[in-house]
Amino acid sequence: MSSALPNFLPFTRPTIDEETIAAVGDVLRSGWITSGPKALEFEDALSALFGGRPVRAFNSGTITLEIALQLAGVGPGDEVITTPLSWVSTANVVLHLGARPVFVDTDPHTRNIDLERIEAAITPRTKAIIPVDLAGLPVDRDRLYAIARRHQLRVVEDAAQSLGASWNGRPIGSTGDFVSFSFHANKNLTTCEGGALVLPDDISPALCERLRLQGVQRLDGGEIEVEVAGHKGNLTDVAAAVGLGQLKHLDAFTARRRALARRYFERLDPTLGLGLPPADFVNSNWHMFQVLLPLDRMRMSRADFIAHLRERNIGAGVHYPAMHLFALYRGLGYREGNFPIAERISRSTLTLPLFPAMQDADVDAVCANIADLLRNAAQ
């Protein structure tokens, strides 16, 4: 039996405690609200999480990707391999550097980039690979880096969604080449807006810092020099205070997300034709719980299905449209049919509510309403 929820349940909502709110107030009262001691403290805390690797914090998870590509030497005429299933920033940053994003279709099971197809896409112009951990499920790092080593390619891990996830028992970010995280409001850890970049051993943190702040290099005597055209990407102390408060709860957030995901698997009716995500409760941080609607068995569109959920006070998302079908990338020659698996997943994906403050009863209500709608929509 299903019924509308008494209050609207969004597909995500940040969990911020009173201690963190008070810490933000302390920063505001301190008189130092831009990048300062809190940002440095946040970087140190993230570095500790990643086994002591160098970490620099930024004001978005998009600028981290672009600067990582710059540090990897990507420029005009180069190619960068990535997946069409991601937020569009993953490919936009490649264009910003004058390079070309080369899409590879997705694995139908993991919905991440299909590692079996990467090598066929490599050309003499290929400089790097950007794998994306969709919904917090890590790409197989062993196979990925074996490919990169064989072809001497840099890897910029788009781990925007996988903070708190792991591979072979080690946190994402503690190994690998460049690792980029996002702390947007919908992420498992938020700074409202923000990001971080984990640097490999062969990259100078000082160069990263210069690219983060207009290329400025501070000299003795207070003089400055600028040798590279940098960005405006520094994280404020206000945002860092939020991040430090969030870090204290990261393990608990991840555990709760995994528990909620397990409940979805227990409560969703397997006879209704939904495509469920991989049931990974070891590596994934369950940033999102995404199902695939059985559109071929339904008398309504996905948009109508989402509208009916909203009428019942349930929010849902569509993460993500296959980006090669956006006008920008059609202009580069991509067409419908180029990546049929990604296109099929993109058309039918439905992101269900999942965030730490949800109650078990919320999951039960979502599942009951989805079952009711699917039965009513059956052809």
Bond preceding residue 334 cis, omega within 30 of 0:
no
Structure confidence at residue 246 (pLDDT): 98
Q: How far apart are CA 271 and CA 289, in angstroms?
A: 19
Q: Are 163 and 172 in contact (CB under 8 A)?
A: yes
Q: How far apart are CA 322 and CA 319, in angstroms?
A: 9
Q: Confirm whether 187 is a catalytic residue.
A: yes
- Sheet containing 178-182: order of strands: 55-58, 195-198, 178-182, 154-158, 126-130, 79-82, 100-103
User: What are 274's two structure tokens?
Assistant: 């939904």
Structure confidence at residue 3 (pLDDT): 80
Amino acid at 145: Y
Residue length of the chain: 379
* 184 contact partners, CB below 8 Å, separation of at least 6: 60, 61, 160, 190, 193, 194
Structure confidence at residue 1 (pLDDT): 57
Cα distances from 182 to residues 6, 102, 231, 323, in angstroms, run: 32, 22, 17, 19
196-222 burial string, b = 16+ CB within 10 Å, else e? bbbbbeebeeebbbbbbeebebeeeee
Structure confidence at residue 379 (pLDDT): 64
Amino acid at 315: G
Phi, psi angle pair for 216, to nearest 5°: -70, 130
Amino acid at 251: D
Beta-carbon count within 10 A of 369 CB: 20
Burial label for 237, CB within 10 Å (0-12, 13-18, 19+), is: buried
- The H-or-E segment that residue 307 falls in is helix 302-311
Please name each of the domains of the chain with its CATH number: 18-247 (3.40.640.10), 250-377 (3.90.1150.10)
In which residue are the tokens 């903070």 written? Answer: 163
Q: Is pTM, for the whole model, over 0.75? A: yes
Up-side HSE of residue 330: CA atoms within 13 Å toward CB?
A: 7
Q: How far apart are CA 4 and CA 170, in angstroms?
A: 41
Amino acid at 33: I
179: left (phi over 0), alpha (psi -120 to 50) or beta: beta
DSSP 117: H
**Digits of tens for pLDDT over the chain (379 positions)?**
578 899 999 999 999 999 999 999 999 999 999 999 999 999 999 999 999 999 999 999 999 999 999 999 999 999 999 999 999 999 999 999 999 999 999 999 999 999 999 999 999 999 999 999 999 999 999 999 999 999 999 999 999 999 999 999 999 999 999 999 999 999 999 999 999 999 999 999 999 999 999 999 999 988 999 999 999 999 999 999 999 999 999 999 999 999 999 999 999 999 999 999 999 999 999 999 999 999 999 999 999 999 999 999 999 999 999 999 999 999 999 999 999 999 999 999 999 999 999 999 999 999 999 999 999 988 6
Structure confidence at residue 100 (pLDDT): 98
Q: How far apart are CA 42 and CA 2, in angstroms?
A: 44
Q: Are 83 and 319 in contact (CB under 8 A)?
A: no
269: nearest Cα among 157, 373, 348, 156: 373
In which residue are the tokens 């100078």 written? Answer: 204
- 3-state helix, strand and coil shares in percent for the chain, rounded to the nearest 5: 40, 15, 45
Beta-carbon count within 10 A of 5 CB: 16
Which of 38, 127, 187, 248 is labelled catalytic?
187
Paired residues of 100 in beta bridges: 79
